[in-house]
A and B are shown apart, each in its own frame.
Chain A
Amino acid sequence: MSLGEYEKHWKSVVSQSVCDYFFEAQEKAADVENVPPVISTPHHYLISIYRDKLFFVSVIQTEVPPLFVIEFLHRVADTFQDYFGECSEAAIKDNVVIVYELLEEMLDNGFPLATESNILKELIKPPTILRSVVNSITGSSNVGDTLPTGQLSNIPWRRAGVKYTNNEAYFDVVEEIDAIIDKSGSTVFAEIQGVIDACIKLSGMPDLSLSFMNPRLLDDVSFHPCIRFKRWESERVLSFIPPDGNFRLISYRVSSQNLVAIPVYVKHSISFKENSSCGRFDITIGPKQNMGKTIEGITVTVHMPKVVLNMNLTPTQGSYTFDPVTKVLTWDVGKITPQKLPSLKGLVNLQSGAPKPEENPSLNIQFKIQQLAISGLKVNRLDMYGEKYKPFKGVKYVTKAGKFQVRT
């Protein structure tokens, strides 16, 4: 963490000086993202994650599976996010006692205790402005004094006694396309990373089953623990008693190349002249396999070579910025209208006398398509058992660019 450091010991106390090894590694890595996640020191191992501009470092003394630690640290960050609305230095500082109480509930002697947000919220209530005010008047606390019932049941992810006046179940099918497109425009690699995120506000103990029009698309899936694996294996139906609130139901991967449509293409010509201090830059974006939907929210990001001093470009739509320090060009394109394809062209100023850049920059493309799961995945129906009321149901689809790179 940049301003201060916070520490919590679960076993014997480890001297803070052990962190020096981490700071050393951080300095060496130049870029914060390149700090190796596992660092060995003479007596300990430091396992860290980098999230939301914060490092979460854990010190371990014995052989512990690193993934175990990394997953746990991410869970801690998720919890902070969940409790404080953001996971930041300021949020942690403002809620340091809750942070401490949370960490105490999440881990005991190196064994994770309660990491499900549902259970934690029963133990320690998240801060709200209202509660703070009420607490200070009534003297009540934000620590629950009931046993977290869910923790012991066979469905540890759901708390008992949930009540809503409006019962709703919403699902977001979000697909991200990871792709590498080569110079000539052909696809080197493409796959879809999909998730179904759920927002479930249902009273009691609802038992849901979600079925798909084309479940065979899903052959590589990771499930939330609530899903009954056997039902999926035999019937390809997602059957589960959901946690209360927001959670990720499944994540999946579609990699078979012919199923991955590439919705945009980029025509590009970037050239640097030998022995001259300028170059030309010209890119145009157009729709490819967009399934008749509008592609919107397009942003192009380019890390230009170091010798680029400045860029004088003209966009046909949207606006662009070039940061001469980081050499990052960002073009906020907006929507594609097929009648007039957006383009960005102009001159590149190079440092005079420097050799012409060896590498051509990769283009990083962001976009969004509403109401479409590019893999073709479609929810067939959602049924609820176990409760009598009729819930509101809804499914939304969206496709986005993930790590979508075009080589030039």
Chain B
Amino acid sequence: MTDSKYFTTTKKGEIFELKAELNSDKKEKKKEAVKKVIASMTVGKDVSALFPDVVNCMQTDNLELKKLVYLYLMNYAKSQPDMAIMAVNTFVKDCEDPNPLIRALAVRTMGCIRVDKITEYLCEPLRKCLKDEDPYVRKTAAVCVAKLHDINAQLVEDQGFLDTLKDLISDSNPMVVANAVAALSEIAESHPSSNLLDLNPQSINKLLTALNECTEWGQIFILDCLANYTPKDDREAQSICERVTPRLSHANSAVVLSAVKVLMKFMEMLSKDLDYYGTLLKKLAPPLVTLLSAEPELQYVALRNINLIVQKRPEVLKHEMKVFFVKYNDPIYVKLEKLDIMIRLASQANIAQVLAELKEYATEVDVDFVRKAVRAIGRCAIKVEQSAERCVSTLLDLIQTKVNYVVQEAIVVIKDIFRKYPNKYESVIATLCENLDSLDEPEARAAMIWIVGEYAERIDNADELLESFLEGFHDESTQVQLQLLTAIVKLFLKKPTETQELVQQVLSLATQDSDNPDLRDRGYIYWRLLSTDPVAAKEVVLAEKPLISEETDLIEPTLLDELICYIGTLASVYHKPPSAFVEGGRGVVHKSLPPRTASSESTESPETAPAGAPPGEQLDAVPTQGDLLGDLLNLDLGPPVSGPPLAASAVQMGAVDLLGGGLDSLMGDEPEGIGAPSFVAPPAAAVPANLGAPMGSGLSDLFDLTSGVGTLSGSYVAPKAVWLPAMKAKGLEISGTFTRQAGTISMDLQLTNKALQVMTDFAIQFNRNSFGLAPAAPLQVHAPLSPTQTVEISLPLSTAGSVMKTEPLNSLQVAVKNNIDVFYFSTLYPLHILFVEDGKMDRQMFLATWKDIPNENEAQFQIRDCPLNAEAVSSRLQSSNIFTVARRNVEGQDMLYQSLKLTNGIWVLAELRIQPGNPSFTDLELSLKCRAPEVSQHVYQAYETILKN
């Protein structure tokens, strides 16, 4: 009496038999036949030949038979579109059936039939069903819109279904709301630019109400939708959080994780001083821990997400270390994730426990897990300084076990410990050397060789040890060969007398007998260094190495912030932004955490050079790398800029990748990059900036020419200065200057490759700055930059970037990436590149404004030794967009009244006093008035720069 009988029809004439049964007069026989057809279908048999016969069974009052026929139709309509039309009438009729169950079933099934001709007939019934009196029909119809959109997006838009769907968000039934949100979210995913889910406080309130009442699945859709909303301030964020927190106690883990996402995201807006912030932190831990007692698959996804959460907010789970202890029968994928999180949570307080556990794991059976456990011990040592000694002794214990792979892993991590704590644990070297012979993995061999080379002076038989490796030099992997070469050179520099022969041997092996260019190059460099200047060689080879730190395995903060927005999604499982793996043309919108809100904001004061540093001291303004890195990484936290040019947003998108290491995708996208190439060259025929100058300034034009600096048109351009010396950037030298021509600000860069390897994959990114300067196009270096080659690039800039007041006001922190590394530098831009072309105020306005700005905002400066007359001054300033509004002669002194406007709309008014015809008195007096007095100093500097060059 079970369905398995449907699988046992006779092979011969199976279809024929079914056909006969389907056309039987007996209802029961018909139904049985359809069941057999369905059973065959589920196991992949082709029963499409029965299409007309099955469709004939559709006109029935028997609900089960109807459903079965519908199932069949959904499967085969695509392959029999002409036949499927036969079914349309029945569908349309069913959509009018008095039974809501049948109406819903009909509209649902119609939406699943992916045949164009059918979809045309679907529109009318669907429109009715969307407004059906029965919520069950409405909620089914809402999903149907998403289905239809997938088949024919244009049709859905033309028919106005999207608006109807939006209306359903205010439906009285929570399930209808949830389904409308789900459908809209799905549609929005394929239209990232569309404003389908335009959320405002009212709609948010409706969603939050529906959240309490709809099914668990609906809750997930609503929570995911909420997560995309940016509250207007911290109070709104808090009130949403308060209403979302009860979801943390839901039995469905997906609901819990979606709620965690909303909370993690909105928490960003709350001040840490708030009591509520602390309460929320406490509430987050228990649900996360509870996820770990669920099925292993759920645990895995939860652990991947917890890994992100503990990196972003370690305080959440800092007391929960023990729940991450590994059970021996956990699946391997759970074990490895737990281990990773244990390290992230390791601290001085719990390190003893952690180490005891790790040691236990290192004796387990699973080789991969054991290796990772040994590595984890090393990572603990590096992370928690107080534990280093304990870790080293634990590792030594493990080495004593003589289990081959344990020993090898231990040696690799001990090398890292040496690098982190130089001159502390070298006493263990002897023990390590005992195991030299058992090492057969390249990484372990390389690590051991590094240790021998680095501490050659303490190892009596270092030369013998290294020599023993040399015998099979050509069979070693490149990693080992390179390490061996370096180690022997180190040895030679430390003990030159005994090891001359050895070093010659290795140099000739590396340079003459090897096919590997890396090895050869390194060999030649050492050779030349040693032969020309042994002292320099010593400085280079035995230079103090930078310490390594725990941060190397942390997710880079920009990416982390983005991933926090994707908690619970595939992105959170892969720890990659969706742009890195989502298929095809589906647009991906980068998400970013909301910025801290105004009401609780404190003024930020980055630690940079003191205010008003003169331009000559640019390099001093470079902050330490660490600080800078931190600042740069905040870059994408800024609020979304309203209406930036298209290209700028493309650049911003790319910028996320820059520091996220996903540069390849950025570069790969270039051909599609929106209009990027057209930005590369600034407009060739720039309009002379002094076009609108008064007639009488012809003379000054001449003067301008004779002064011979800068470009013919546009504002004054300073000569290029070195911004990033090659020695600080692994051979990449960057010099540059800023220009403003015909309204376009550019950063003119000169990149020189002073390294010995080809440089490719350039990209650039700015930190937030006072005037929102940002690259308007990607940094385009068309061909790889070969050694000694130089390229000139003009990078157009926009002022649509995120704004953050810097100190000094005009400092700009820049990150440049190439295939070798990411480099940072800081420079100061002259303020006059921000003076806009329409900066001329009319006289009346000028007078009114001058009076209106309070006197305390007035700043007085002197420009010394400027032997120019009023005309010359005026015309020269005008070419840099400082406009003379009026001119008066008072007691033999020329008074110029000038105005200028910055890109951000700040007006600066100036009064300039000149004493013409008095060669002994060439100082100009400048009074500046501005509502933002802090710019005055920089405007004065701009005046001085323009007039003196």
> B-contacting residues of A (Cβ < 8 Å)?
4-13, 16, 33-34, 36-38, 40, 43, 45, 48-51, 61-68, 70-72, 74, 93-101, 104, 108-112, 115-116, 127, 129, 132-133, 136, 139, 141-148, 151-152, 154, 156, 178, 180, 182, 188-189, 191, 193, 219-225, 229-230, 233, 248, 251, 253, 255, 303, 305-306, 358-360, 362, 364, 403, 405, 407
Partner among A12, A109, A180 whose Cβ is within 8 Å of the Cβ of B111: A109
B295–A49 touching, CB < 8 Å: yes
A34–B332 touching, CB < 8 Å: yes
Within the complex, the shortest CB–CB distance from A397 to chain B, in Å, comes to 20
Within the complex, the shortest CB–CB distance from B506 to chain A, in Å, comes to 37
**Of residues B140, B217, B221, B401, which shows the largest number of chain A Cβ atoms within 10 Å of its Cβ?**
B217
Using CB atoms, name the residue of chain B closest to A42: B583
Please indicate the chain A residues that have their CB under 8 angstroms from the CB of B687 in the complex: none
B570–A38 touching, CB < 8 Å: yes
Within the complex, the shortest CB–CB distance from A56 to chain B, in Å, comes to 10
Within the complex, the shortest CB–CB distance from B672 to chain A, in Å, comes to 20
Tell me, in angstroms, the Cα distance from A94 to B7 when the chains sit together: 10
Partner among B6, B43, B114, B356 whose Cβ is within 8 Å of the Cβ of A4: B43
| B569 close to A (CB within 8 Å) | yes
B329–A63 touching, CB < 8 Å: no
| Known contacts A62-B189, A139-B28, A255-B289; A189 and B325 CB within 8 A of each other | yes
Partner among B3, B246, B364 whose Cβ is within 8 Å of the Cβ of A359: B364
Using CB atoms, name the residue of chain B closest to A221: B249
- Interface majority SS on B: helix, strand, loop or mixed? helix
| B581 close to A (CB within 8 Å) | yes
Tell me, in angstroms, the Cα distance from A50 to B410 when the chains sit together: 35
**Of residues B68, B135, B249, B568, which shows the largest number of chain A Cβ atoms within 10 Å of its Cβ?**
B249
Please indicate the chain A residues that have their CB under 8 angstroms from the CB of B38 in the complex: 96-97, 100
Within the complex, the shortest CB–CB distance from A308 to chain B, in Å, comes to 13
Tell me the count of chain B residues lying within 8 A, CB to CB, of chain A.
Answer: 107
| Known contacts A64-B570, A97-B6, A147-B99; A108 and B327 CB within 8 A of each other | no
A97–B35 touching, CB < 8 Å: yes
Task: Identify 24 residue pairs between A and B in the complex whose beta-carbon atoms are under 8 Å apart, listed by A's number.
Answer: A4-B43, A11-B147, A40-B581, A43-B583, A62-B586, A64-B570, A67-B254, A70-B298, A96-B4, A98-B3, A104-B71, A109-B143, A115-B217, A141-B63, A141-B64, A151-B136, A152-B135, A152-B173, A154-B174, A156-B215, A220-B286, A220-B289, A359-B363, A405-B327
Please indicate the chain B residues that have their CB under 8 angstroms from the CB of A362 in the complex: 328
Tell me, in angstroms, the Cα distance from A95 to B333 when the chains sit together: 34
Tell me, in angstroms, the Cα distance from A23 to B506 when the chains sit together: 49
Partner among A48, A178, A253 whose Cβ is within 8 Å of the Cβ of B297: A48
| Known contacts A12-B114, A189-B322, A191-B323; A364 and B329 CB within 8 A of each other | yes
| Known contacts A67-B301, A147-B99, A364-B329; A132 and B1 CB within 8 A of each other | yes
A-B contact sample (16 more), CB < 8 A, given A67-B302, A220-B286: A48-B297, A49-B295, A65-B257, A68-B254, A93-B3, A94-B2, A96-B6, A96-B42, A98-B3, A127-B2, A144-B63, A148-B136, A188-B357, A189-B325, A251-B290, A253-B290
| Known contacts A7-B42, A95-B3; A407 and B301 CB within 8 A of each other | no
B4–A93 touching, CB < 8 Å: yes
Partner among B75, B290, B364 whose Cβ is within 8 Å of the Cβ of A9: B75
Within the complex, the shortest CB–CB distance from A36 to chain B, in Å, comes to 5
Using CB atoms, name the residue of chain B closest to A69: B254
Please indicate the chain A residues that have their CB under 8 angstroms from the CB of B135 in the complex: 152
Using CB atoms, name the residue of chain B closest to A62: B189
| B861 close to A (CB within 8 Å) | no
Please indicate the chain B residues that have their CB under 8 angstroms from the CB of A144 in the complex: 63
Please indicate the chain B residues that have their CB under 8 angstroms from the CB of A255 in the complex: 289, 323
B67–A63 touching, CB < 8 Å: no
Partner among A7, A143, A222 whose Cβ is within 8 Å of the Cβ of B64: A143
A63–B42 touching, CB < 8 Å: no
B249–A223 touching, CB < 8 Å: yes
**Of residues B111, B323, B331, which shows the largest number of chain A Cβ atoms within 10 Å of its Cβ?**
B331
| B100 close to A (CB within 8 Å) | yes
Tell me, in angstroms, the Cα distance from A22 to B803 when the chains sit together: 48
Interface residues of B in 555-573 (CB under 8 A from A): 568-571, 573
B253–A71 touching, CB < 8 Å: yes
B570–A66 touching, CB < 8 Å: yes
Using CB atoms, name the residue of chain B closest to A402: B293
| Known contacts A63-B189, A97-B6, A109-B111; A142 and B64 CB within 8 A of each other | yes
**Of residues B3, B147, B189, which shows the largest number of chain A Cβ atoms within 10 Å of its Cβ?**
B3
Closest 3 CB pairs of A and B: A141-B64, A94-B2, A220-B286
Partner among A33, A38, A220, A221 whose Cβ is within 8 Å of the Cβ of B573: A38
| Known contacts A145-B63, A154-B213; A180 and B301 CB within 8 A of each other | no
A112–B217 touching, CB < 8 Å: yes
Question: How many pairs, one residue from A and one from B, have CB atoms within 8 Å of each other in the complex?
Answer: 250
Interface residues of B in 341-369 (CB under 8 A from A): 353, 356-357, 360, 363-365
Please indicate the chain B residues that have their CB under 8 angstroms from the CB of A154 in the complex: 174, 213
Please indicate the chain A residues that have their CB under 8 angstroms from the CB of B586 in the complex: 62
A6–B329 touching, CB < 8 Å: no
A147–B136 touching, CB < 8 Å: yes
Interface residues of B in 283-325 (CB under 8 A from A): 286-287, 289-290, 293, 295-298, 300-302, 322-323, 325
B64–A65 touching, CB < 8 Å: no
A45–B570 touching, CB < 8 Å: yes
**Of residues A11, A97, A191, which shows the largest number of chain B Cβ atoms within 10 Å of its Cβ?**
A97
| Known contacts A43-B583, A100-B38; A111 and B570 CB within 8 A of each other | no
Interface residues of B in 1-34 (CB under 8 A from A): 1-4, 6-7, 27-28, 31
Tell me, in angstroms, the Cα distance from A221 to B256 when the chains sit together: 12
Partner among B251, B329, B571 whose Cβ is within 8 Å of the Cβ of A222: B251
Using CB atoms, name the residue of chain B closest to A178: B293
Within the complex, the shortest CB–CB distance from A299 to chain B, in Å, comes to 14
A141–B65 touching, CB < 8 Å: yes
Tell me, in angstroms, the Cα distance from A178 to B357 when the chains sit together: 16
| 1/0 contact string of B133-173 vs chain A (CB within 8 Å) | 01110011001101100100000000000000000000001
Partner among B28, B100, B147, B249 whose Cβ is within 8 Å of the Cβ of A109: B147
A151–B68 touching, CB < 8 Å: no
| B452 close to A (CB within 8 Å) | no
A74–B295 touching, CB < 8 Å: yes
Using CB atoms, name the residue of chain A closest to B570: A63
Using CB atoms, name the residue of chain B closest to A230: B246
Tell me, in angstroms, the Cα distance from A358 to B286 when the chains sit together: 37
| B574 close to A (CB within 8 Å) | yes
Please indicate the chain A residues that have their CB under 8 angstroms from the CB of B44 in the complex: 7, 16
| B666 close to A (CB within 8 Å) | no
Please indicate the chain B residues that have their CB under 8 angstroms from the CB of A115 in the complex: 215-217
B75–A40 touching, CB < 8 Å: no
Partner among A33, A36, A61 whose Cβ is within 8 Å of the Cβ of B583: A61
Partner among A45, A127, A188, A305 whose Cβ is within 8 Å of the Cβ of B322: A188
Using CB atoms, name the residue of chain A closest to B27: A139
Using CB atoms, name the residue of chain B closest to A44: B583
Within the complex, the shortest CB–CB distance from B774 to chain A, in Å, comes to 28
| 1/0 contact string of B474-505 vs chain A (CB within 8 Å) | 00000000000000000000000000000000
Within the complex, the shortest CB–CB distance from B325 to chain A, in Å, comes to 5
A151–B175 touching, CB < 8 Å: yes
| B78 close to A (CB within 8 Å) | yes
Please indicate the chain B residues that have their CB under 8 angstroms from the CB of A13 in the complex: 78
Within the complex, the shortest CB–CB distance from B612 to chain A, in Å, comes to 50
| Known contacts A108-B140, A253-B293; A403 and B327 CB within 8 A of each other | yes
Within the complex, the shortest CB–CB distance from A252 to chain B, in Å, comes to 8
